[in-house]
Chain A
């Protein structure tokens, strides 16, 4: 199939960029990123700079890839990263527009690549259980109710890709932050630091320049792991307790 691609090109160090148009010949068994590989191979052999985009595992689990395709973070397929989207979703003659995540807290580094280090700093502010190596009790010392374990797991499936931020009209990182707060807050091991954790992580989120949540739900809609906005409500409850405790 022949496709027309409108791709955001922004040079390293530039504060702005523009769309450039490319034609590419793809087959339906290719993944979306393999289609971009074909384009980049051609650009390289012509001595032109290929389109920079982040990607690594290409299995939808590392969270490295991600850009906006025709207005949708990670493209048209639900609960699927762009690396796991295949070209059988498209047909001959389609025109596709690619642009980077757009958020003040995710500055563009080049083309479709953004700086997501703000997410690491949110985790640094409290997204962990403080347990030194070697000081752990026997694993079966504490049982975990299966329902809690499963709910914690649902939150823990977050891959930190940033699609939730890109899709949110406020560029909020509430889904990302609440997924971590909920994962750790739902297991008994995470109770000691539970409320302090939620307060610290939300403070850091604000400091990074992410917006607040106004219940649009766009984040859940684009999340490749289908993480529920219910975790945001859950975090807000923890946050309320934290504030009442003066944390």
Chain B
């Protein structure tokens, strides 16, 4: 099947305006007759829930956390992009659009990205009106900084806690609607299945994580705002609870999963310190504005105190290799180069598994230029966090960093209206695939989550409702019962394995398979091996996992086991997609396809398309559908940051 993104024709500059005009609008008095189900309460989910409730819809919003304020958007540190051009440095909607398409390595959909750049300016206005305390200059105006991969200063920030402040803004807007009784918030509740009736998404099955009760919820449209799947690697910067469950359940009910192999490995994370590592911590890449990345030129210096290594023995490899961008090259380029120098045996830091896998991020020069206080005012909380974790003071000893899985550009396939191929099922934020292509630029995740939730979905969902005019569904519909029974049977099955191995044992092992074979650099052989290993591990999981306790009441082992079981299914599709995409693009780097300079080498003739996978049944390979991508404005070129 050839998929269509349903983007408006004509000039891109006016596409969204024309589309908004052409879409049908639900009469204000009728909106309250419709119930929208939103899964997830991060930037995308909370902003969508608040905005749609303000418009008059009845909203049910679900999150697995104990409060909507805790979604993982909260951990974003660096900032949010917007084409305000407050710095008078030549930024514009078109430039943000151009940078995003190019940064995505020409694997995103142009009209979606243009719209994202357009609404970026509204997001800042909205957040400021909500009281989000962005950094300001002494004159009282908003401050900006330049951020990974951008040559203009268009990033708005709130110390190193931009995600927290934006999420709290959206959370407060959401709580205001809870107070107004327009949103019913269901915390500590996890989606178990999607209910599809006559080919239309009409509801979800949930498990109450406190009581264990399974329940069905029916509505007129379903929105998934459930984040990314980085935890398929076990070690990632994602929160412990982040999962692919909602997306994979929707996939098994017919929604296509697009580009699962596009993952972003973030270049600046705190390195692994030992076997029991449970997660990795990101150090915002805003640090690369002032920190300089280096490793020793000579392997024998790798164990030495970095301050004792003279200037001429340091290899500032990013500055040498990419003079124009230096330490600010895009994330994938920075990550791959860190791996390269460590592969050469020039890594530093702890010996883990016989290797040193870290590079220095040095603030010595920034401190002499800005003073320790100047550096503290920019990065104080990040330095504090680093010291907490490593026990080392980054003001006097260079930080050690290494790449870690951070963000997933792939996700459920959606059209220009953010609706999946399953009518009624909308997907927003990191959970969808549409705007970042094969690589996301820094400070663009917050932008996309809020763009989708505040300014895109609230309009497009009205069009869906007006055109489909959903009729009420009886609670006792056979599809509802089937989904409820299926969810109960699966929980039963997990509880009854009664093996002897903890859940995390399988998750760690899956993580290793994915990191070794589907990580920073991928090969045909490695991916084929992953495709052999994953089903074997899945079988062992179903024979050996131990989930003590009961399915009634709170059971964290059961929650974890359900998520790991879903990752074990999803991982196979991931590896298959990576194998099938026989090119390098952005975060998907196939060793077989690189330029002489070691850059990702695309194959536009054969792969300038979205790969959207359709579920075909258990133990049957999914079927791939293509959506071809057209670049009418930004001419595909080999990225070069030299």
Interface residues of chain A, those whose CB is within 8 Å of chain B, are 11-13, 27, 29-31, 33-34, 37-38, 40-45, 47-50, 52, 54-64, 77, 80, 84-86, 88, 109-110, 113, 115-117, 119-120, 123-125, 127-140, 142-146, 149, 152-153, 156-157, 159-160, 183-184, 187, 189-190
B570 interfacial by beta-carbon distance below 8 Å? no
Q: A113 to B78, alpha carbons, bound, how many Å?
A: 31
Q: What are the interface flags for B56-72 relative to A under an 8 Å C-beta threshold, 1 for contact and 0 otherwise?
A: 00000000011111101
B444 interfacial by beta-carbon distance below 8 Å? no
Given contact pairs A12-B553, A41-B505, A125 touches B179 in the complex (Cβ within 8 A)? yes
Of B124, B164, B241, B555, the most chain A CB neighbours within 10 A belong to: B164
Q: A136 to B127, alpha carbons, bound, how many Å?
A: 8
A-B contacts, 17 of them at CB < 8 A, read A13-B553, A38-B276, A41-B505, A44-B502, A44-B503, A50-B556, A61-B74, A61-B75, A62-B74, A62-B239, A115-B210, A129-B131, A133-B458, A134-B454, A138-B125, A152-B133, A189-B131
B161 interfacial by beta-carbon distance below 8 Å? yes
Q: Are A59 and B385 in contact (CB under 8 A)?
A: yes
Residues in A whose Cβ lies below 8 Å from that of B278:
31, 33-34, 37, 58
Shortest B357–chain A CB gap in Å is 15
Q: What are the interface flags for B496-525 relative to A under an 8 Å C-beta threshold, 1 for contact and 0 otherwise?
A: 001011111100000000000000000000
Q: Are A146 and B136 in contact (CB under 8 A)?
A: yes
Q: Are A128 and B502 in contact (CB under 8 A)?
A: no
User: What number of B residues sit within 8 Å (CB to CB) of A?
Assistant: 86
Shortest B394–chain A CB gap in Å is 15
Which 9 residue pairs across A and B have the least CB separation, nearest first? A143-B140, A12-B553, A136-B129, A128-B172, A44-B502, A133-B51, A124-B179, A41-B502, A153-B133
B554 interfacial by beta-carbon distance below 8 Å? yes
Q: A41 to B507, alpha carbons, bound, how many Å?
A: 12
Residues in A whose Cβ lies below 8 Å from that of B161:
61, 157
Q: Are B69 and A160 in contact (CB under 8 A)?
A: yes
- Which stretch (B308-316, B543-551, B608-616, B622-630) binds chain A? B543-551
Given contact pairs A129-B131, A156-B165, A60 touches B385 in the complex (Cβ within 8 A)? yes
Given contact pairs A56-B70, A61-B75, A120-B67, A143 touches B133 in the complex (Cβ within 8 A)? no
Shortest B439–chain A CB gap in Å is 23
Q: Are B141 and A58 in contact (CB under 8 A)?
A: no
B472 interfacial by beta-carbon distance below 8 Å? no
Q: A134 to B459, alpha carbons, bound, how many Å?
A: 12
Residues in A whose Cβ lies below 8 Å from that of B134:
149
With A44-B501, A60-B388, A64-B66 given, can you name 5 additional A-B contacts, CB distance below 8 Å? A50-B556, A56-B70, A120-B67, A129-B131, A143-B141
Neighbour of B131 across the interface among A11, A27, A187, CB < 8 A: A187
B373 interfacial by beta-carbon distance below 8 Å? no
Q: A11 to B555, alpha carbons, bound, how many Å?
A: 10
Q: Are A144 and B136 in contact (CB under 8 A)?
A: yes
Residues in A whose Cβ lies below 8 Å from that of B158:
153, 156
Q: A159 to B172, alpha carbons, bound, how many Å?
A: 13
Q: Are B125 and A62 in contact (CB under 8 A)?
A: no
Residues in B whose Cβ lies below 8 Å from that of A184:
131
Residues in A whose Cβ lies below 8 Å from that of B137:
146
Shortest A121–chain B CB gap in Å is 9
Shortest B178–chain A CB gap in Å is 5
By beta carbon, the residue of chain B nearest A126 is B179
Q: Are B274 and A29 in contact (CB under 8 A)?
A: yes
Q: A149 to B133, alpha carbons, bound, how many Å?
A: 6
Residues in B whose Cβ lies below 8 Å from that of A156:
133, 158, 165, 168
Interface residues of B in 6-40 (CB under 8 A from A): none
Shortest B300–chain A CB gap in Å is 25
By beta carbon, the residue of chain A nearest B70 is A62
Q: Are A84 and B385 in contact (CB under 8 A)?
A: yes
B414 interfacial by beta-carbon distance below 8 Å? no
Q: Are A124 and B178 in contact (CB under 8 A)?
A: yes
